[in-house]
Structure 1
Amino acid sequence: MCKKMPISNHEKIPYYKTNNVLWKWTLCDGTDGCQIVPDVNLSSDKTPPALRNQSPPLSVPREHRNKKEVGDGLLTILEATARFKKWLDTPNPPKHLTAAQAENPETIPLFDIQEIPSAMRKNFMFKSAMLMEKWFAGELNYSSTDSDEAAGINQDGKPYPPSMYDTTTIKLDWVLNFRRAKDQYDALVNAAIRNPGAMQQLALTLSRYKRSRAELDTWEISGKSLANLHKHFQFQRVGVESTLSQKISQFIASNMTNRGTPDDLTGALGSFNFYAAIAYAEFNGDVTAARLKGIYVYVRDNYTFTDKPGEASQYLGHWSRKGIVIVPYSAGASILNQPWLPYVDYPVAVGDRRVSGNVYYPIKNSSFRQWAMRHKRGGDFIVYSDYRFVPIYPPMTVYL
């Protein structure tokens, strides 16, 4: 039997906040709990940002570069240093009230959904903020079905426009700084590309291009387009973890074992895949086999706020200008797929609700969809990282 949830905004309910140094959840319960705020709503009134409309530049394979780019590694170091320094230097938030609040004690500062990227930056989720801002600045673009989303087909039955492809924000070196991602990358290049399913797909793909003693250069054949390379020469993939909503659900369902703490990789990509595509192959004289000499590895992900039909919208936490907290009642409703459970959609106050940032609002996928329908904006898009050439030595023999 579900525990009855308190309905008075004078009663305290438990919540979890993040420790942004140790990346763990901290339980706040009893007198330290939060209070329901039933008389305010998330704002979506803020004017959308200027519409972006730019085609992405093409990625350049690692082996085609003249020298190693060091900017990504330096950026990672600077971000890590800034994270710790900011934590040390950040003072406690001011407790004073504005003149309007002093005049009207019940005045609660509004929080607009477009302020979430700013809150992400305060929680060191820099890439997450960049991608969300790009979504807000996009033209209205979404897929009506899962299959359309996978194929990059939008609500009008047309391919995503060039502006709905991001090839510059996510770098492979940045992704591989996260241990769970590096483990899956290693699993792909060391084992998964050689399993029976991958070998079968390799044979099928290479058979379309077989010519006696010819060498296959897929980058040239693909017109130096990563999207074309993926479409025609991808043959294996491995997945990395889960979305923010899934991590929250895992955290609640696993007796609060701190497995759900969000970081920048979660916020930016959620669950995503590393892909392997053919780079170079050489056919033998009688075209009965080919030698795979190298592969390209990259990340591809759909940045979207899509819910499955018939299911409750996925809970993405309670957000304010200060960041994210988890209210277990709301998370539990999401796990149980019970949108009818009472009181799960209320904002909550942590401390004086009149102080800016102290009221946290429940955010779901549907929050973004509602904003998109209201403003006729919000562009789902496909994210590609840059990609890495991985030589295969000795070459793998693929029988055709």
Structure 2
Amino acid sequence: MPLARSMTSPASHTEGKRVDVDVFHLDEIPGAMDNMGWTIAPKLMRRWFANPLFRMSQDMRKNNARDVNGAEIELDSMTLKPEQYDDQILKMEWVLGFERVKKLAFEFIKTPNWKTPNGVDLLRKRLTKQGWKPGKLLPVKLGHAGMGARELDSVCQMNFHSYIDPRTNMDEFLGAIGSFTFKVAVVGAASWGPIKGNVFTIKKVGLYIRDTYDFNGKYESLGVWSRARCLSLADVAAFYVAAARMDWLSIIKKFLGFVSVSNEDFRRWQDKHYSGGDFIIYSDVLWLDADIKEINLD
């Protein structure tokens, strides 16, 4: 989006008034993020700009796909094309460095919050795909602690919880992720015994994030940016008030070089440049010892 700076020409000039237009390009935002000391957010955005043109469907955003009959099924993360996902940039160590997000993570990983009836049903389905059935004497293994999040999502994921970042002011987590989903996966083995019946013995629990990096919300504001930084949320409010009042003096004094950015701007970028691709983010995995060791499958 361009900003025009009007400059009065000297009287000796006969060409009239000169207008210098300083154009702020959308793909300069990662540089502003660098300037603010952010590390993860600019990598994610640069990945989007570098991707071939791809607009994510609502099904994919919801982790769904369609079978040959058009029925909704779970998306198999292992069928994604390389440009449709990233599992290298987002690290759980960085995620848990934000205290509010860390609090959400460890509330979710408490046993009652992820070992729900629906979660146990999904675990049974995961095990059935691996050849398990009730009463089977030989143990059936499910996953291992060497798996990444995308593999876990396909094989061992048992439950999830989606969140909207409660942050009320801009920081890098809000700038990079915003709304997101924590997922929990279990690795271990299912077996049957005459006393306990059908049980799944947990070896490890894996916690990770699945998120989508897309710009589907047409009019959603993504902040007010310049080449140097983004405005705080308080300053964003003042910026919009000045713009609504057409208070150009305030805009020039306080907000020269800043422009409002929305999802629609990224969609227009795709239309103009035939590039920019949505993708799914998988973090690395935080492996934990479960506070329970067995899940009853009966």
Q: TM-score, normalised by structure 1?
A: 0.58
Contact 1:116 1:320 in 2 (8 A): yes
Which AA in structure 1 matches 2:85? Y
Deviations 1:71-121 (A, max 9, x none): xxxxxxxxxxxxxxxxxxxxxxxxxxx9x9685664242211111111122
1: CA distance between counterparts of 2:56 and 2:170?
Answer: 26
1: CA distance between counterparts of 2:23 and 2:120?
Answer: 56
2:38 aligned with 1:129: no
Contact 2:214 2:279 in 1 (8 A): yes
Contact 1:346 1:362 in 2 (8 A): no
1: CA distance between counterparts of 2:55 and 2:38?
Answer: 24
Which AA in structure 1 matches 2:143? T
User: Could you tell which deviates more after superposition, 379-388 or 121-130?
Assistant: 121-130
Deviations 1:39-93 (A, max 9, x none): xx449xxxxxxxxxxxxxxxxxxxxxxxxxxxxxxxxxxxxxxxxxxxxxxxxxx
The 4+ residue runs of structure 1 with deviation greater than 6 A are: 329-332, 344-349
2:20 aligned with 1:107: yes
Contact 1:280 1:295 in 2 (8 A): no
Q: How does 1:370-381 map to 2 (within 5 A)?
A: 370-381=268-279
2:289 aligned with 1:366: no
Which AA in structure 2 matches 1:391? D
Deviations 1:291-329 (A, max 9, x none): 23322211111111112xxxx610112211122235438
CA shift in 2, pair 1:173/1:358, >3 Å: same
The residue number in structure 2 matching 1:229 is 152
CA shift in 2, pair 1:393/1:300, >3 Å: same
Q: How does 1:375-390 map to 2 (within 5 A)?
A: 375-390=273-288
Unaligned runs of 5+ in 1: 1-40, 44-97, 248-258, 333-341
The residue number in structure 2 matching 1:181 is 101
CA shift in 2, pair 1:393/1:362, >3 Å: closer
Q: How does 1:5-154 map to 2 (within 5 A)?
A: 41-42=1-2, 106-144=19-57, 146-151=58-63
Q: How does 1:302-317 map to 2 (within 5 A)?
A: 302-307=212-217, 313-317=219-223
Pick one of 229, 250, 256 that aligns with 1:323: 229
The residue number in structure 2 matching 1:278 is 186
Deviations 1:251-298 (A, max 9, x none): xxxxxxxx5211111111111111101211331236633223322211
Which AA in structure 2 matches 1:397? I
2: CA distance between counterparts of 1:300 and 1:140?
Answer: 21
Q: TM-score, normalised by structure 2?
A: 0.76
Which AA in structure 1 matches 2:152? L
The residue number in structure 2 matching 1:396 is 294
Higher strand share: 2
Unaligned runs of 5+ in 2: 10-16, 66-74
CA shift in 2, pair 1:316/1:199, >3 Å: same
The residue number in structure 2 matching 1:293 is 203
2:137 aligned with 1:212: yes
CA shift in 2, pair 1:149/1:238, >3 Å: closer
CA shift in 2, pair 1:368/1:148, >3 Å: same
User: Could you tell which deviates more after superposition, 133-142 or 285-294?
Assistant: 285-294
Which AA in structure 2 matches 1:328? A
The size of the alignment, in residue pairs, is 268
